[in-house]
Structure 1
Amino acid sequence: MSVSLVITTYNWPQALELVLMSVMQQSVLPNEVIIADDGSTVLTRDLIAKFQENFPVPLHHSWQDDDGFRAARSRNKAMAKATGNYIVIIDGDMILHHHFIRDHKKAAKPNQFIQGRRVILTEKLTKQTFDSKNIHFSVFSPDVKNKFNTISCRLLSPLVSCLFSKQSYRSIRSCNMAMWKQDVIKVNGFNEAFVGWGREDSEFALRMLNAGIKRKDLRLGGVAYHLYHREQTRNNLNNNDRLLEEAVKNQVTTCQHGLSEHL
């Protein structure tokens, strides 16, 4: 089993730096890392180039023109480049627990995709983290919300994950997901008709479920810490909601404009 870690980013190199630091400190490294860049400036390019000098695994930069919020296309381009047979997706503001990749590999099963959890850091703690570059947190850390999500327990994770998993596209967040590349190809990746923030991850999960690929909600493992930021503008959310409603109604398993355009 080989793992490709895909990290989405857009013009926030300060956060990406901390994320890449956390990748380098993994107890089990991914086989490669691919930055899915939705049109960042040269500052992000230079940061990645700096890390490439001594990164422990291949670190690739997948870039596209800045033409609005096109996370679906950015992820597809990065996943098309992936050489691993298993893909883990995170956002570029998610600092990884020391055992993040190890936990995702342990939870991987055929015909299944994983929805991971996130720990939310407050604005105060996020600022402190940028200042100190201390990327280690725990259930005892002050200014950490939803503290239960900080707990990592290799023995209990499989049982708790089975108890809480639900076969629904709701509450899907692509900031912490994992799936087999062959299943991504099967549903043609993310639907690039989704432009602007929102619902592209829900519609992707819906097609996976419709294609018979089960959902597993990873608990007590695969912990990631979400840096605080202001919410994205939601100018195109009504259109994205309509696309999701159509996908639900038509029970779709694939999309017209997706991963295949980049393979």
Structure 2
Amino acid sequence: MIQTRMPDEVIIADDGSKDETKTLIESMQKDFPCKLVHAWIPDEGFRLALSRNNAIRTYCTGDYVIFIDQDIILDNKFIEDHERLATKGCFVIGGRTKLSALLSKKILSSKNIKLGLFTKGIIRKVNMVHIRCLFPLTSKMYSWNKLYGRGANMAMYRSDLEKVNGFDEDIIGYGVEDIDLFNRLMNNGINKKYAQFCAIEHHLYHKRGKVVENNFKIAFTNKNRKRCKNGLTHDDK
């Protein structure tokens, strides 16, 4: 992990991986450049919301949290950019490039591939242009659209996460847990900023899952809600 600004800690929110993952993480912990924590929950289906909440409430010690997915390659200024973008009363979402199946396969089989504007197999190349001084001109992009954004590149203050009670653990299976979170944050007056020309990441190819229909119902039945019941805390218990 090469970053111009190392994070204070890295917490791997593990949704039911087998022992091979545990062994790999343990082998990395000794020489990892910052605190590396393995936050595991048992495999009982796709439970991203529960997995992330478990990592936050059990292991997270920082006051600002940056989220990525497991299929992401980070630009070396990714953490530095997010730290510079951190603003009280706001959360940040960023874009990503998409890598072709062939390029993703090459990257996974080799550690020496460098990604550049002329690399073949990169889609949405505008999202890999790093001109941080232009961010103020683009930070309000998509702010009108609560539905725009992905949980693979987002950051926010922990206090704001606690205000909305984190991710909704009633959302089980693939899809919309991030959009639901954005909606509740914005309903609490926490503004969305878009990280264009900075906080760059690349998304490795994989087949997209089908969103569970019931997740749409949970997220959008009450579009004005400010807090979920079953999140970082369980309000009904």
* TM score, norm. by length of structure 2: 0.95
Residues in 1 aligned to 2:124 and 2:26: alpha-carbon distance in whole angstroms:
35
**3-state SS of paired residue (1:170):** coil
Residues in 2 aligned to 1:187 and 1:161: alpha-carbon distance in whole angstroms:
23
Residue number in structure 2 paired with 1:259: 232
The answer for unaligned runs of 5 or more in structure 2 is none
Residue number in structure 1 paired with 2:51: 74
1:28 and 2:12 correspond: no
Task: Please show how residues 242-257 of structure 1 align to structure 2 within 5 Å.
Answer: 242-248=217-223, 251-257=224-230
1:37 and 2:44 correspond: no
Residues in 2 aligned to 1:216 and 1:165: alpha-carbon distance in whole angstroms:
8
Residues in 1 aligned to 2:198 and 2:113: alpha-carbon distance in whole angstroms:
17
**3-state SS of paired residue (1:204):** helix
Deviation of the 1:75 alpha carbon: 0.5
Q: Confirm or deny: 8 A CA contact 1:167 1:214 kept in the other structure.
A: no
The answer for unaligned runs of 5 or more in structure 1 is 1-23
Distance 1:59 1:214, change over 3 A: same
Residue number in structure 2 paired with 1:13: none
The CA deviation string for residues 186-209 of structure 1, in whole angstroms up to 9 with x for no partner, is 000000000000111111110000
The CA deviation string for residues 62-84 of structure 1, in whole angstroms up to 9 with x for no partner, is 00010000000001011112111
**3-state SS of paired residue (1:157):** helix
Q: 1:238 aligns with which of 213, 216, 221?
A: 213
Q: 1:196 aligns with which of 170, 173, 177?
A: 173
Residues in 2 aligned to 1:69 and 1:215: alpha-carbon distance in whole angstroms:
27
Q: 1:211 aligns with which of 180, 185, 188?
A: 188
The percent of aligned pairs where both chains have the same amino acid is 39
Residues in 2 aligned to 1:29 and 1:175: alpha-carbon distance in whole angstroms:
18
Q: CA RMSD in A?
A: 1.2
**3-state SS of paired residue (2:10):** strand
Task: Please show how residues 108-257 of structure 1 align to structure 2 within 5 Å.
Answer: 108-134=86-112, 136-162=114-140, 164-234=141-211, 237-248=212-223, 251-257=224-230
**3-state SS of paired residue (2:37):** strand
Deviation of the 1:243 alpha carbon: 0.9
Larger helix percent: 1
In the alignment of these two chains, the number of paired residues is 233
Deviates more, 1:149-158 or 1:91-100: 149-158
Deviation of the 1:184 alpha carbon: 0.2
Deviation of the 1:141 alpha carbon: 1.3
1:107 and 2:82 correspond: no
Deviation of the 1:161 alpha carbon: 2.2
Residue number in structure 1 paired with 2:62: 84
**3-state SS of paired residue (1:87):** strand
